[in-house]
Amino acid sequence: MKTLDDLLGEGVSGRRVLVRADLNVPFDKNQPGVITDDGRARAVLPTLIALRDAGARVIVVSHLGRPKGAPDPKFTLAPVATRLGELLGAPVAFAADTVGDDAAAKVGALEDGQVLLLENLRFNEGETAKDEAARAAFAAQLASFADYYVDDAFGAVHRKHASVYDVPAILPHYAGGLVLREVEVLKKVTESPEQPYVVVLGGSKVSDKLAVIKALLPKVDKLLVGGGMCFTFLKAQGHEVGKSLLEDEMVQTCADLLAEADGRIVLPVDVVAATEFSADADHVTVPASEIPADRLGLDIGPESVALFAGAIGPAKTVFWNGPMGVFELAPFAAGTRGVAEAITKIDGFSVVGGGDSAAAVRTLGLDESAFGHISTGGGASLEYLEGKTLPGIEALEK
């Protein structure tokens, strides 16, 4: 892959550079337009600053949420443009469309060193179209705005979308520093992890993580399972799980994995069980084998935190993807906090695998610098670990 450094070496002063960023940031559900975690915006800053300082005319594109191929005020990137300007210390212009008249006018008005953010890519059907001709047509419109293309959106490289896969087929293309770092780190934890190697998986569903469990199980010393997905494993051990999240169709699969792992899969020994999914719900800590029929598990308990921390402590490599409980609700955050704090103390290299795990680090006020690497791409990280070809990486390598 050609890199951002290669592009800067060629000289970009006065040239238009289209940067695919991942600005899919979360917003406060109760306060429209208020960003709750700007980590993804901060992650792309080094690339934007390098291009700006080199005199490029920077055009940033991103998706936000899952609009249905048409403008939707709930998913506008306008507040992100404001926040990006604050982070850059200079105003970021915003176009109210992606390839329409306003975008064309604002691209034409860009001066050297200025930054422009176009409206949500997914307001256009062509961005995510399965039809290659429709996708290519939208990509051609985007590419017409620029002389060069830089992909620094690792969180989107697993998508065969116009801005990720088709635009680099049209323009001279380069990998941004964030994408390069992500690939370097993930290669390290898949190809040559220093042992002992511990993987911590959480999140809702076993089915979402099944492929990565199968890919990593032969490589790890311990695989710790928390979050909603642990209850299907507990059911596979013969325990009742009350009203907890359960994938009945995955119980036998979990039983097979437990047998294959021969003790290397570690499950919670206690859970915080609540009467309902609410911060105000009555909740008690119970053994994982004794979850009441009228309650649901929303976090791992303190004995599980100690058990997991004991497994994490000797590790030289840790990969963590998925919270241990519903960390957004204060009564059910202790499990995620405890496991995260244990990861920060290892004498080795740790990777937070993006998505909710990265959000948890910031939401819980943990020191980001205490982790070896915090990924910006949850789904992309998992697919890389599964050994899948990532379309965005493939496009950059051509």
Strand partners, 351: 319, 373
130 is catalytic: no
23 is in an annotated binding site: yes
Please check if 264 is assigned to a binding site: no
Cα of 18 vs its chain's centroid, Å: 22
Helix or strand run (H / E) with residue 198: strand 197-201
Nearest to 153 by CA among 47, 77, 78, 66: 47
What are the angstrom distances between the C-alpha of 222 and each of 233, 263, 320, 398? Answer: 15, 8, 12, 37
Is 22 among the annotated ligand-binding positions? yes
- Which of the residues 205, 214, 219, 362 is marked catalytic? 205
Binding site annotation covers 192? no
24 carries a ligand binding annotation:
yes
Q: For residues 136 and 370, give the distance between their C-alpha atoms in angstroms, rounded to a whole number.
A: 42
> Does 40 carry a binding-site annotation?
yes
| Alpha-carbon distances, residue 20 vs 25, 218, 234, 369, 371 (angstroms) | 15, 35, 42, 26, 26
Helix (H, G, I), strand (E, B) or coil at 227: coil
Cα gap 203→227, rounded to integer Å: 5
39 is in an annotated binding site: no
Catalytic residue among 242, 355, 378, 392: 355
Q: Is 209 annotated as a binding residue?
A: yes
Q: Is 38 annotated as a binding residue?
A: no
Catalytic residue among 39, 100, 313, 379: 379
181 is catalytic: no
CB 116 within 8 A of CB 78: no
Q: Is 328 annotated as a binding residue?
A: yes
Q: Choose the catalytic residue: 40, 52, 106, 222.
A: 40
Q: Is 355 a residue of the active site?
A: yes
Could you confirm whether 264 is annotated as catalytic?
no
Q: Is 119 annotated as a binding residue?
A: no
* Residue list for the binding site for substrate: 22-24, 40, 63-66, 122, 159
* Residue list for the binding site: 22-24, 40, 63-66, 122, 159, 209, 297, 328, 354-357
* Residue list for the binding site for ATP: 209, 297, 328, 354-357
Query: Would you name the residues annotated as active-site residues?
Result: 40, 205, 355, 379
* Residue list for the binding site for (2R)-3-phosphoglycerate: 40, 122, 159
